[in-house]
Amino acid sequence: MNDKFLWGASIATYQTDGCPGTQWAEWEKTNAKRLASEYEKKFSFVPNYKDFLLEGEDPNNYICGLGIQHRKHYVEDFKLLKSLNINAFRFSIEWGRVEPEEGKFSEEEIKFIKRYLLELKKHNITPVVSLWHWTMPTWFTNRGGFENKSNVKLFVRYCEYVLNALKDDIVYILTLNEPMIYTGISYLFGEWPPQKKSFTKCLGISRHLIYAHNQVYKTAKSINPSFQISIAHNTGTTELGDKKIKTKLARAFSVYRRDTHFLKSTYKYMDFLGINWYNHDTFINGKVKNPCAIMNDLGWDARPYDIHIIIEQLYKKYHLPILITENGLADAADTRRKWWIEETMKAIEVAQNNGVQMLGYLHWSAFDNFEWDKGFWPRFGLIAIEPKTLKRTIRPSAKWYAEQLKQRRDEPK
């Protein structure tokens, strides 16, 4: 295994541990019953949806609370991850824990993060740190959040505080996680907090997030020029299923919104490109109509090999090294995860053979955790978490992944 290639897994800290005093923690309390009542309507098209009926229809499923208590068990968790032969781990820092009140920063939280990073270092695991993974302190959202451009300076101030504190401890930094997913689901479709349906607000917030990333990049480089900075960009592979004009237009809009609107204004303020990839979409009659020959537990069409197509397209367009920052599937029975990872590894080799500079692959996710408005029932983890006891169990697919990494590590240099 090339020691410089990052093979690992990812989490988001809210999804493993929750965070009181954030807009999501407040929102889930008032929406849990509604989400539980909608489970069967939303997922009855998935063949095995009844496997999760009890959890899906339980309002408690949609309350993150303390999550899987990774903060409490991180020493144990990192030992498990090291046993999988990984050398990289992505996690996020919770703004609401670092700055629980406006302008009042928590030295205790920074001390905790430093201990956390030190434990990773003991295992020779490279951290990849996300500064924003959708959750925000309620004091920030009460001020309008990213709806107001003037608030961006508050986000930059938080990032500056964290990066000054960790300037000697980290290299790889993701300023934002999937900004276009956040703006789309929260403000275009109105499904996530603050549940506002407004194309104008959606567009405005995306511009503010562009500004935020660029400002944080410049601030970070002034703190430590060696920082390697990007975002975790959600993308997907697309194809035309027919030649109708409306189909071509639908696909073109999807590609522009996903891969052009944000990146065209930020890629010059990136040292690499972080990619989150879960799906290949086929457009037919103006809409996405996937074959779904294989689906994950959430009903998402699964064609993992096709990731190489978008990797090659984005590399050719933006000329940035690629780090896959999320990639995986909800698979509680663990019947398809090995296949998914194997197909993705093949795709990475294809992209590399076609000239793409790849930095690494981080599987989503390291552990079963809280999947936002779906709650705990979707299982993405390499490591299974028993909901009541929180017992950790390495899944067979993860053991296979570990063996592949061992073989790569043991290959002659």
pLDDT for the residue 1: 45
- Angle 281-255-218 from CA coordinates, rounded to 5°: 125
pLDDT for the residue 115: 98
Mean pLDDT of 164-191: 97
pLDDT, tens digit, 9 for 90 and up, residues 50-102: 999 999 999 999 999 999 999 999 999 999 999 999 999 999 999 999 999 99
Flag whether pLDDT at 386 surpasses 80.
yes
pLDDT for the residue 151: 98
DSSP H/E element including 214: helix 199-223
Mean pLDDT of 382-396: 97
pLDDT, tens digit, 9 for 90 and up, residues 294-337: 999 999 999 999 999 999 999 999 999 999 999 999 999 999 99
CB 344 within 8 A of CB 307: yes
CB 10 within 8 A of CB 327: no
185 falls in which pLDDT band (50, 70, 90)? very high
Flag whether pLDDT at 2 surpasses 70.
no
Mean pLDDT of 111-128: 98
> Any residues with CB less than 8 A from the CB of 344 and at least 6 apart, and which?
304, 305, 307, 324, 327, 361
Nearest-angstrom CA–CA distance, 252 and 258: 10
413 falls in which pLDDT band (50, 70, 90)? low
**In the beta sheet, which residues pair with residue 126?**
88
Q: Which two tokens stand for residue 350?
A: 């294809």
Mean pLDDT of 191-219: 97
pLDDT, tens digit, 9 for 90 and up, residues 340-366: 999 999 999 999 999 999 999 999 999
pLDDT for the residue 226: 98
Mean pLDDT of 30-51: 98
Q: What SS3 state is found at 111?
A: helix
Flag whether pLDDT at 28 surpasses 50.
yes
Mean pLDDT of 256-266: 96
Dihedral sign, CA of 150, 153, 94, 368? positive
pTM of the model: 0.97
pLDDT for the residue 132: 98
Query: In the chain, what percentage of residues exceed pLDDT 90?
Result: 98
ω into 230 cis (within 30 of 0): no
User: In Å, how far are 81, 126, 180, 194, 288 from 2, measured between CA atoms?
Assistant: 18, 14, 33, 44, 38
Mean pLDDT of 201-227: 98
Flag whether pLDDT at 162 surpasses 90.
yes
Q: Which two tokens stand for residue 162?
A: 């964290």
CB 173 within 8 A of CB 129: yes
